[in-house]
Structure 1
Amino acid sequence: MSVTWSFVSYTSREETFLSKLDSFTEMAFGGRYVILLMALFSIYCGLIYNEFFSVPFHIFGKSAYACRENSCSDAYTAGLVKVRDPYPFGVDPSWRGSRSELPFLNSLKMKMSILMGVSQMNLGILLSYFDAKFHKNALDIRYQFIPQLIFLNSLFGYLSLLILIKWCTGSKADLYHVMIYMFLDPAGDLGENQLFWGQKELQILLLLLALVAVPWMLFPKPFILKKLHKERFQGHSYRFLGTSEMDPDSEPDSARSRHDDFNFGEVFVHQMIHSIEFVLGAVSNTASYLRLWALSLAHSELSTVFYEKLLLFAWGYDSLIFKLVGLIVFAFATAFILLGMESLSAFLHALRLHWVEFMNKFYHGDGYKFKPFSFATLADDEE
């Protein structure tokens, strides 16, 4: 009873507090936990790139690069050589301002986006397995989950593996060339693009698995559902794919919903659309994660422009007024553009990636209505 009373008192205090807020502040208060997580992740990304408002910091020790000669006058554009082990954490700060900064960071961010995307899509497919297992639907496990997992990882899982191998070995292989000619000339000589022994044979095997996975997704399930309906209609008892003896409560939802009115053409077309959508989506969804690369690049370049073209430009004058105006403009540009608009943009893009690229692997939206967690509903249930 005391627990229920604490829930009710907390809810009443929260409602009193929200009634005193305007609409914009109330929206920010409702998303306070999301804002906190975004802030913590922004700090983490700053440590990954070892930057603070586009200013490089040697937080974790000395750079791996140094000037070749003591008389080197332009260490950020020429004359740098590697003198010690790689930087212990994140990006080496000496890349900032160098001639190779943009090509290096472009390649790094693009590959990181692909790795994050493939990892999250695999997680979505894995959740579809638990969803099918919860509903005791062996059809979806055997003819959707398994071939989807094989297809995605035969192509883009393999690309992720190549990225990791290239990072670990320092190879100069062109991964674009490897992936393109994996389809155009799978038996061709890889030459300098070979990263490990047996790569050509592995590519042929993965390509065959990807080709097999497509009809695996498309054809078996509709025909099994047809046979399932026919046997059920004739009143025969049977066992279905290793599950318990079929009854209206234990059989798959996909089969149970078609006992009375089973249209094979409709089921086949639906499965064909689902299969084609997954195959094409595997390419487009992976490419969609490259928006992380684009957003990171835009944010970094905006930070550099505000720092160098506003703050440092104004700081170059001897006038205190110029310095003060430059500092004020820099502060407002940072607060409203980098912290405000860029945060909103990152949130919307992340929301889109979760809703489309991630959730379309397992979410169907045909169950009960979603109810978000609330202390008020818990109090009502206790009463």
Structure 2
Amino acid sequence: MSSRVRIDIPAESGFGPEHLPYCVFSPAGEQPRVGARLGDSIVDLAVALDDPMFAQPSLNAFMAQGPGIWSEVRQRLQAAADGEFPAAAVHAVSAVELRLPIEVADYVDFYASLDHATNAGRIFRPDAEPLLPNWRHLPVGYHGRAGTVVVSGTEVIRPCGQRRTASGTPDFGPSQRLDIEAELGFVVGAGSVRGEPVGTGEFADHVFGVALVNDWSARDIQAWEAQPLGPFLGKSFLTSLSAWVTPLDALREARIPLPDQDPPPLPYLQDRAPWGLDITLRVEWNGHLVATPPYSRMYWSPAQMLAHMTVNGASTRTGDLFASGTVSGPEREERGSLLELSWGGTEPLEVGEAKRTYLEDGDEVVITATAPTASGGRITLGEVRGVIAPARY
């Protein structure tokens, strides 16, 4: 008879049975496979559930099964959490390599925070209305680069590009205004049919879970190139995704109504269920807390983002990732980008004993988040971190 073990869960771990986020991990000397986190351990699902679907290098095969299978697997794991697992299925988180959890099919980044959009508008257009006329009518977004979405912990090589000089003409070199964007990402599990829009009420039929995102941004490159089109080289060099995907079911107690939307959105964007989320993010810069952005203030919901993304007939695929855009609040300490925290580089902020505006080589940024549970505790979303490496040119 194979040996079995019980997983001890620290009281304040944030990774108890109410959470059970998924990952892809590599045990020492073995191929990557799908796991679920319980406390400080990872449960190898191929072994624990005796299912080869989980002996895969991404979550995609599992996610493609749809919400019925997602719910069944979660129920089985929760039922097993108080008992014992096969010893061969249990690995310490600290003893494995975490991989990119999904094979990213497409990547879209939205601009869904009213506070962030207002702050950015005031910085870039101080003598004009901060919001452009379309902003309150649709969730603005841009199509990003799936091939440069990387797992948390991957080094962030400082990008190079054209930068506007004082003369109004460009030079070329490393970005001097390298920034972060603290975001929440949504992972599509079940795709949709081209030509058939996904309604807001179908959100949970398609979206598997959420993961923290840092959409690194080169503000000087972005400011020069984004005239008149949107982000390109200033964004496409790297987007960091957490190694942990939290299933939607783990966020049931975090669901809240959206803030008032004025004017009311067009019918296809009207939420059929409350998909605001009471999630608080934390941004640490070189170990110092610099911001606590509140996702609860997001103007556009993820259900509205998905509905807008598909209303023209565009299809979604298993592994599609769409992100909220920078999460910010009305107070300075709630701003989710250095652009806002330093007000365009004009108001340095304290990072320990240093006063800083944008990122320097060697800096590390770590974004974490928590959400409430039915038991009155909080789950901890898997972190997303990155260290800045010098440009290569």
| TM-score bucket of the superposed structures, by smaller chain | under 0.3
Structure 1 or 2: larger helix share?
Answer: 1
Length-normalised TM-score, structure 2:
0.24
Which entry has the higher C-alpha Rg, 1 or 2? Answer: 1
Structure 1 or 2: larger strand share?
Answer: 2
Length-normalised TM-score, structure 1:
0.25
